[in-house]
Amino acid sequence: MRTMFQKIWERHEVVAETADTPAVLYVDLHLIHEVTSPQAFAELAARGLPVRRTDRTLGTLDHSTPTRTEQVFGGAPIAIESAARQVRALEANSAAFGVELLGLRSAQRGIVHVIGPELGLTQPGTTIVCGDSHTSTHGAFGALAFGIGTTEVGHVLATQCLLQRRPRTLGIEVSGRLAAGVTAKDLILAIIGRIGVAGGTGHVIEYHGETIRALDMDERMTVCNMSIEAGARAGMIAPDETTYAYLRRRARAPQGADWERSLEAWRELPTDPGARFDREVAFDASPVEPMITYGTNPGMAIPISGRVPARGDDPVLARALAYMGLEGGEPLRDRPVNVVFLGSCTNSRLSDLRGAARVLRGRKLARGVRMLVVPGSQQVKAAAEAEGLHRIFLEAGAEWRESGCSMCIGMNGDTVARGEYSVSTSNRNFEWRQGAGSRTLLASPLTAAACAVRGRITDPRELL
């Protein structure tokens, strides 16, 4: 009896771990981007090493890349000069080492964790790494996927392997139906609120149970994406018919006879009945309400109708509330909002845009509110435009951008101003994350859209 994690791990051990040495773990897919790869390529160049498996390596541009159309497609230079240099560095490194790059003007470019699944590269049973902590997203397909540092990016480029100690496993069983207006984002915020931002440290999480089975792939990705915000390097969900239906006929998924063979192998992956996780948590999803964060880490989340916890003598909470300009015990509801950001690897897929559009259709942004809508990839952008979603956003008064990490990370020109409150569908509400002195409240696309319409913290169920 083995867990899905065990099955995948054991299948990728080139050399098993011993008491003295970590395992040599094989990497099936290595995704790279402009921010965490230049120093790794420099290391290879210094040692005279090639990229060992260019066929298992794919690059894209997302983090420091601008989202303004003219800076992407021409008419204006990339405004941040160091970002422009970084873009050119990945272009040059990809050419020199023979790595495929979905470049600035590629119709397949996008946030690295959006394009892997979208292209059908993210497949059950595989190991996937990237120099980015939200690589956990790909675990939604029953892959073992985790973020690595730049030195390790170099290891994978040079050897297609990593030295790894086997992590422990944490099973989170989710039962109960999500209420109307409550999304996968609310669910994962509630789970992090429960187990804490270090609750998954040293572990790989497997989310399972009836609630998880009922989620579509976009929703599963949102859940796995935020595993790292609970401290877990990876989050996984067993593949099933939902997974296969999503992957079938994707450009780079197995085709024809290969598809049938792959399907047979994928059906063997789920955790065997009776297999045990090192730790287990049971979570009831039925009482979960739309969630919103009030503090400076993603565990500081409350139901949108709730009150900010009293300060007490917790210095972390006191510091967080001072930064956020909030008082302990006050309700968040109806507090004014300055900026709304719809995007990021957590919530920038087509269904996220559809959800927000449902709220915004025929409505306008409240006076003084700025809203940025940044699709996760150029393919998501094209699909959204094909069904007219962009018109709903533009008519409401929002900005419609090219794909990228945008305001999630504040290193590409899209930022929130000092002291402003930003309701954001991204994953981190850390101090300064969205810009100097920015104050981030994490929420679902539905909540974000509702806040944009009212200009105040709003329960989306009032507008659905």
Partner 1 sequence: MEPVKTLRSRTVVLAASHIDTDQIIPARFLTTTTRAGLGRQLFTDWRYGPDGAPRPDFALNRPEAAGCAILVAGRNFGCGSSREHAPWALVDYGFRAVVSTEIADIFRSNALKNGLLPVVVDEATGRWLIEHPGVEVTVDVETTTLTLPSGARARFPLEPFARYCLLNGVDELGFLLVQLPRIEAYERRKTAVS
Residues within the interface to partner 1 (CB under 8 A) = 14-15, 19-22, 24, 26, 35-36, 38-39, 42-43, 47, 49, 63-64, 80, 82-83, 85-86, 89, 131-133, 147-152, 154-155, 158-161, 163, 165, 167, 197-198, 201-202, 228-229, 231, 233, 261, 265, 297, 315-316, 319, 409-411, 418, 428, 430-433, 436-437
Query: Which CB, 181 or 298, lies closer to partner 1?
Result: 298
Query: Which CB, 22 or 209, lies closer to partner 1?
Result: 22
Percent helix, percent strand, percent coil in the chain, to nearest 5:
35, 20, 45
What whole-number distance in Å separates Cα of residue 70 and Cα of residue 68?
A: 6
DSSP string for residues in 151-169: HHHHHHHHHSEEEEPPPEE
Query: Which CB, 154 or 290, lies closer to partner 1?
Result: 154
Please state the closest distance from residue 159 (CB atom) to partner 1, in A. Answer: 5
Query: Which CB, 108 or 150, lies closer to partner 1?
Result: 150
Nearest to 78 by CA among 464, 413, 444, 415: 413
DSSP state of 177: P
Residue 427 burial class via C-beta count within 10 angstroms: exposed 0-12, middle 13-18, buried 19 and up: buried
The bridge status of strand 168-175 relative to strand 203-208 is parallel
Q: Are 129 and 147 in contact (CB under 8 A)?
A: yes
Rg (CA), the chain: 21
What whole-number distance in Å separates Cα of residue 384 and Cα of residue 419?
A: 32
- Angstrom distances, CA of residue 290 to CA of 173, 190, 426, 442, 458: 20, 9, 15, 11, 10
Query: Which CB, 173 or 431, lies closer to partner 1?
Result: 431
Please state the closest distance from residue 152 (CB atom) to partner 1, in A. Answer: 7
Please state the closest distance from residue 446 (CB atom) to partner 1, in A. Answer: 25
Query: Which CB, 82 or 274, lies closer to partner 1?
Result: 82
Please state the closest distance from residue 176 (CB atom) to partner 1, in A. Answer: 29
Please state the closest distance from residue 457 (CB atom) to partner 1, in A. Answer: 24
Please state the closest distance from residue 374 (CB atom) to partner 1, in A. Answer: 16
Query: Which CB, 222 or 297, lies closer to partner 1?
Result: 297
Please state the closest distance from residue 204 (CB atom) to partner 1, in A. Answer: 10
